[in-house]
Amino acid sequence: MALNQDYVGKVYPASPAYEVGREKIREFATAIGDRNPAYHDVAHARSLGHRDVIAPPTFPFVVSMRASAVAMFDPGLGLDYSRVVHGEQRFAYVRPVTAGDSLVVVTTIENIRVAAGNDILTTRSDISTEDGEPVVTTWAVTVARGTAEGTA
Amino acid sequence: MSASVAWSDVEVGTELPSLTVTLQRVNLVMYAGASGDFNPIHWNERFARSVGLPDVIAHGMLTMASAGRVVTDWAGDPGAVVEYGVRFTRPVVVPDDDHGATVDVSAVVAEKRADNLVRVDVTAVYAGSTVLGKAQAVVRLA
């Protein structure tokens, strides 16, 4: 089933807050094999001018992925999640995600297109603090293999 | 934000220190847990093969994170990264053995911009082929 083009531009309500903890940042940094002290050592992070340990540049995807489920599993959109692969990811940072942040995400369906029988979905996640301070915007391109109209 | 590299000290063509990343099954399990991405193609060989993959593959975001380290190690302060984006062009297949998959990451300053910004182009090679396309970071240097 092809994706519903009417959903281009659809903006979903802000997600519940994601509380960013020091230990989560350390766990994530360890999982990606990154010992950069800015992720682990509060004093070092402060010496760089940060309020607390900061998260690696790809960490915001953990927050945006969870929040964008409202779009991915929106029955009206028609995405076949079983055929999905990750096509692209891009981040534009206002500042790094920092321990102690309470983040909310607004997910927007930015684009839907078809290429080579694949449905290609671009979602934008605007991540800000609960107080409204913008932190990072991230774009995900999701490819549903062979789901566009006219293909089996 | 305080990068340890000065904008005036780099030129287009300046190479960043390269790095080699080894991904084994345990790294995929750790990444699944830390990220919350439990797609079985990243840990279940039986499932991966059933959907046409040669074996379990690394999370694209783990490859992206690993490759990004070439930039953050160089910049000193990871908070100096202003933009980072990649296309996932080929999977990194991670066999169940003692070696795992080896990804060689290199990067070069591709453009100098105003406001102490540089664009860095990143190359990640696994099994002789690049696995990321248009992998670029914009970094604010000192």
Interface contacts A/B by beta carbons within 8 Å: 107
Residue A58 has pLDDT above 90, yes or no: yes
The question of ipTM being above 0.95 is answered as yes
Domain presence at residue A49: no
Asked if the C-beta of A62 comes within 8 angstroms of chain B's C-beta atoms, the answer is yes
A54 and B61 within 8 Å at the Cβ level: the answer is no
Radius of gyration of chain B (CA): 16
Best mutation target, A25, A58, A94, A139, to test chain B (most B CBs within 10 A): A58
Q: What is the pLDDT of residue B19?
A: 98
Measured between alpha carbons, how far is A97 from A127 in angstroms, rounded to an integer?
A: 10
pLDDT band (50, 70, 90) for residue A82: confident
Domain presence at residue A97: yes
Domain presence at residue A115: yes
Closest chain B residue to A28, measured at CA? B34
pLDDT band (50, 70, 90) for residue A151: very low
Measured between alpha carbons, how far is A92 from A106 in angstroms, rounded to an integer?
A: 15
The CATH number that applies at residue A63 is 3.10.129.10
Mind telling me how many Å the CA of A138 is from chain B's nearest CA?
Answer: 9
pLDDT band (50, 70, 90) for residue B11: very high
Q: What is the pLDDT of residue A93?
A: 98
Domain presence at residue A50: no
Residue A149 has pLDDT above 80, yes or no: no
Measured between alpha carbons, how far is A22 from A15 in angstroms, rounded to an integer?
A: 21
A36: chain B residues, CB-CB within 8 Å: 69, 72-73, 78
Indicate the average pLDDT of chain B: 97
Cβ atoms of A136 and A93 within 8 Å: the answer is yes
Interface residues from chain B to A (CB-CB < 8 Å)? 1-2, 21, 27, 30-31, 33-37, 60-62, 64-66, 68-69, 72-73, 76-79, 81-88, 137
**Ordered domains of chain B (ranges, CATH):** 7-140 (3.10.129.10)
Q: Tell me the pLDDT tens digit for each residue of A102-139.
A: 999 999 999 999 998 999 999 999 999 999 999 999 99
Q: Tell me the pLDDT tens digit for each residue of B30-40.
A: 999 999 999 99
Q: What is the pLDDT of residue A152?
A: 40
Q: What is the pLDDT of residue A137?
A: 98
Domain presence at residue A119: yes
Asked if the C-beta of A96 comes within 8 angstroms of chain B's C-beta atoms, the answer is yes
Domain presence at residue A51: no
For the segment A21-27, the average pLDDT, to the nearest whole number, is: 98
A27: chain B residues, CB-CB within 8 Å: 33-34
Domain of residue A119, residue span: 5-20+56-144
Measured between alpha carbons, how far is A130 from A147 in angstroms, rounded to an integer?
A: 37
For the segment A43-70, the average pLDDT, to the nearest whole number, is: 97
Q: What is the pLDDT of residue B16?
A: 98
B88 and A87 within 8 Å at the Cβ level: the answer is yes
Secondary structure of residue A51 in the 3-state scheme: coil
Residue A150 has pLDDT above 90, yes or no: no
Only one residue has tokens 């910004």, namely B117
Q: Tell me the pLDDT tens digit for each residue of B77-117.
A: 999 999 999 999 999 999 999 999 999 999 999 999 999 99
pLDDT band (50, 70, 90) for residue B15: very high
A33: chain B residues, CB-CB within 8 Å: 21, 27, 66, 69
For the segment B114-125, the average pLDDT, to the nearest whole number, is: 98
The domain tally of chain A equals: 1
Measured between alpha carbons, how far is B27 from B38 in angstroms, rounded to an integer?
A: 13
Measured between alpha carbons, how far is A148 from A120 in angstroms, rounded to an integer?
A: 9
Closest Cβ opposite residue B36 in set A36, A62, A92 = A62
Domain presence at residue A35: no
Burial of A13 (0-12, 13-18, 19+ CB in 10 A): exposed
Residue A147 has pLDDT above 80, yes or no: no
